[in-house]
Structure 1
Amino acid sequence: MTLIEGHRSITPADGIPVFDVDPYDPAILRDPMEYYAELRALGPVVFIPRYSVLAVGRYEETKTVFSDHENFVSSRGVGLNDFKLEKPWRAPSIILEVDPPDHARTRKIMARALSPKVVKTMAESFRTVAEELVDRVLARGTIEAVTELAEAFPTRVFPKAVGMKDSHARHLVDYGAMVFNAVGPDNALRREAMARAGEIVPWINAACTRDRLTDDGLGALVYAAADTGEITEDEAAMLVRSFLSAGVDTTVTGIGSALWCLSQNPEAWEALKADPSLARPCFEEVLRMTSPVHTFCRTANRATEIAGYPVSEGTKVLCVLGAANFDPEKWPDPDRFDINRRPVGHLAFGVGIHGCVGQNIARGELEAILGVMAERVARIEPAGEPTWRPNNGIRALDRLPLKLIPN
């Protein structure tokens, strides 16, 4: 058996188009739209020989594969590495990288800790921090929005929500980047991110222990499940780790992308200011347009099929969520940013049993920051060229110069 990037090399079924591309090329990661369009145009499923994987980018096939947890599993890794064949770089997540029935046990605990009712109790504290940050950047006028808002807000409010007694904003952001780069190949992006693992991972693991958490945060809710015997103490620590690996970086990306979309579409900002209740549908459209997680993998756990083509056991399938969210068969005029679109069914938060468990808190954070800005900011204008930070798993801005005009 030949392995490529830690998974089984395959021979695709007759008739599957071949796409000679490197989806993890930094140039594509910075600007993936042409790649997305070509992937969809080639067919419902394509073979990418560079990594010996199948890829889906049309909406229907992507949704089907991503949500079919019986045929296409997460327990063998959501990246290129097949955990059944090679040891992962860290202990697998017991919520993201696990299948039923074990998944239901841990998912229940996380869903309880991150329920809409719990997140609602955080709204006031989210707004207080949002007001402080927005007033600060308004006083400056021209800002670098990634560091001064997109990173600053989640790294302030989320550790407090979890109940972390001590926090480190840079470690939180860099750990998220490490986790998402790890889902790709052994390229320069992954190696550069993993070079800091020796410093960051021990800090993250220590920050997840019970003694480093307050008794009134999300972490305490998770450890309460250990006290009742639903999970072990070690499992509780791993679930808190899941908060930190997925709850910061994607929200940072979402806020930065929202500010980018609104600065590029002033009419949308005017509409949001006129009707702040549009904050939620605005964020959903931002997610559809920018897909913070652009690609996750599934592994065929048995012989199955995609769109009528046979798929052998052990096949890695790239689910290109970013491409699916631009499929014109699903979204009329997909290149247009429209906060009135209400894109129900977008795949930015996944779908099925592995839909993002933290989406309630992400939406709560975005609504807080956008709500305060809509009240206090007259206009958001570009103040320079935005630059995107290539990452094997997420599409994130690296720099976003903006000029904020107060009311």
Structure 2
Amino acid sequence: MALNPYDLFDIRSLLTEEERAVQDTVARFTDERVRPIIGDAFAEGRFPRELIAEIADLGLLGSSLPEEYGGGGLNGVSYGLICQELERGDSGIRSFVSVQSSLCMYPIYAYGSEEQRMRWLPDMAAGKVIGCFGLTEPQGGSDPGAMKTNAKRDGGDWVLNGSKMWITNGNLADIAIVWVQTEDGIQGFVVEKDFPGFTAQEIHKKMSLRASVTSALFLDNVRVPEANRLPNVKGLKGPLGCLTQARYGITWGPIGAAIACLDEVLAYTKERILFDRPVAATQSAQIKMAEMARRITLAQLLSLQLGRLKDAGNMQPAQVSLAKWNNCRMAIDIARECRDLLGGAGITTEHAAIRHALNLESVITYEGTETVHQLVIGRELTGINAF
């Protein structure tokens, strides 16, 4: 019996019935609703907002949170499969869901009060309230502890000043989870878009994540009530805990991008005739595609085991770093190789490889650059911090 070229080790057989059902549902959505429009959306630099309601109706926003807050109560592996299938369509679609679920809904659930959970999470799960996550600053990048954005107490309120950069969903968002320096350490606040002094400015001229909204946030004496402060965490462990959740999903997402590229190039090389035979009949093409399948298989096994560790409560941040590093590098290398096998046709958005390759330039950078994750593993191995 022929093997599935995108699942050579039959990893699907290791999934539960519920996990397979989740994957199939999101795969259908990606094939029927995302892939037909995403090339044009990327070329136009437009996030397809018309998909938000459908994404919410499928239960993909906050899917791992308890049902009482609008979530689906799904396990970590199911969330990973959601990310994989969405990114098979486009990194921008997966980023939208990742930010809403892992970077906005998760901190409200994990660090917020019960009043905050009930106020925002059900509407966020329904897609009625969109969030963004404000941590990175123009001068900060990989060093979030150096943030300059600050908050000072003023009676029963806090006054926030500063700016954040490279914020996914920024101009879509109704609320922003903003992390700032205070006299009591780093704290998180829910900043509502209509608070005076708060503005979002969309970043244009991007060559990556073009089907995604990326913004800069500015806070000019923004008065935020104490009721909007996340009360249950202080210090960098707050935002870093959110990033661990999001990075976990990112370990799965690039697998989908790589599968999309391999799927496209398998079909193309069988049809493309050069020197009287299909490109797929050449040894060089087969070796390249075999290498892609090998790396996809290793990434699949890595993320599945990471998901099982997560669901058992045993996942460590360094393990997430290893998987994010490996799987993003795998996917960007495959996308570039597929673009090459497509020849001149590979540079247009009629094909997926160049779009995925460009998107993955962002995915390999955000939420921890490749170098940062390498140094995390280096520290784990040696016990020496080389940052």
Q: TM-score, normalised by structure 2?
A: 0.24
Larger helix share, 1 or 2: 2
- Normalising by structure 1, report the TM-score: 0.24
